[in-house]
Amino acid sequence: MPRLILLAALLIAFARPVAAQPAEASQVVAAERAFAADGLAMGVDRSFLKWSTDDAIMIAGGAPQRAHEILDPNAVFDPAAPSLVWWPNWAGIAKSGDLGFTTGGVEVGGARTGHYFTVWQRQSDGSWKWVYDGGAGATSAGVPGPDTEPLLLPTSVFGAPSPEAAMAEVRTVEAVLAAGALRDQKGAHLALLAPDARLYVAPLPPAIGADAFPAALDAWPSRFELSAPFGGGSSQAGDMVWTYGRALWTRDETPRAGHYVHLWQKRWAGWMLVFAQIIPDPPPAGG
């Protein structure tokens, strides 16, 4: 543990500014809105396939799965089915303009049911496709509606020397978080959450900002076992990284499991967690 803390401190000490490049989060907001509009016109399977990369990940049925292996390109759109509507309330983009995210409310058949979180990647032709898409049960009852403009995460001016270096650095910080969460997940998360981060703890509303984090974290179990990241990706500027992995915990003396999804941003103080959620596994059949 002392060695991990020392490594994390070194990552903070050697954070470096990156050269300014044009990057507008409005690009990923526009992609998300077009994706959502296609969902209403084409149905879930076909719209999700259209807007995703070939290796895009969804966490479904208690496991990370490739979207193109579980969605049906020949699915028939039923306009009479309950509509799936979603819209961005918060978005951000890497300094290099090649990686971004949006998150916001979800409605099914007119009833608000939770939030989505999408990670977007710019393609070689300049278009945007998502590489991760998932949902959270945090209530969306009180969030602004589809006609409002999303808030934007300020773009970082720091970065790692390369995407590979960024991923290696974040894996070290993930190890620090995991070691702390074995004893005290609340303290471990509070030490790494950015002051303007968002935390989704179902069924609570999103915890937005430092004042909201303690109560939200109290609703999670006091300890988590977090795996090393199974996957994720980094921006070219090395300033934004997303990860996902396994989470295990106990509630009411019953073992539980799920997956975490994290978004990290490099700042003057080092890598900070700007988004976190746990996606519980579905209950066993008949349970």
Q: In angstroms, what CA-CA distances link 71 with 57, 68, 183?
A: 11, 6, 39
d(CA 276, CA 217): 11
d(CA 12, CA 267): 8
Residue 284 has pLDDT above 80, yes or no: no
> Are residues 97 and 11 part of one domain?
no
Note the pTM of the prediction, 2 decimals.
0.91
Q: Which residues constitute the domain of residue 225?
A: 2-20+156-280
Q: What is the mean pLDDT of the chain?
A: 91
d(CA 231, CA 222): 25
Residue 285 lies in a domain: no
Contact 197, 276 (CB under 8 A): yes
Last residue of a domain, one of 152, 177, 202: 152
> Are residues 161 and 140 part of one domain?
no
Count of residues for the chain?
287
Token look-up 């190890």 returns 175
pLDDT digits (tens, 9 = 90+) for 93-116: 999 999 999 999 999 998 999 999
Query: Distance of alpha carbon 270 from its chain centroid, rounded?
Result: 19
Residue 135 lies in a domain: yes
- Give me 286's structure tokens: 């008949």
> Are residues 179 and 138 part of one domain?
no
Residue 19 has pLDDT above 70, yes or no: no
Residue 287 lies in a domain: no
pLDDT digits (tens, 9 = 90+) for 71-93: 999 998 888 888 899 999 999 99
Domains identified in the chain, total number: 2
Q: Compute the average pLDDT of residues 49-71.
A: 96
Q: Which backbone phi and psi does 241 adopt, to 5 degrees?
A: -140, 140
Q: In angstroms, what CA-CA distances link 124 with 13, 50, 64, 121, 127?
A: 34, 16, 25, 10, 7
Of the candidates 156, 192, 168, the one whose C-alpha atom is nearest the C-alpha of residue 243 is 168
User: For residue 257, what is the domain's CATH number?
Assistant: 3.10.450.50
pLDDT digits (tens, 9 = 90+) for 228-251: 999 999 999 999 999 999 999 998
More confident residue, 51 or 109: 51
Q: Which backbone phi and psi does 35 adopt, to 5 degrees?
A: -60, -45
- Amino acid, single-letter form, for residue 166: A
pLDDT classification of 285: cutoffs 50, 70, 90: low
Residue 27 has pLDDT above 80, yes or no: yes
> Are residues 225 and 139 part of one domain?
no
Contact 73, 141 (CB under 8 A): no
Residue 16 has pLDDT above 50, yes or no: no
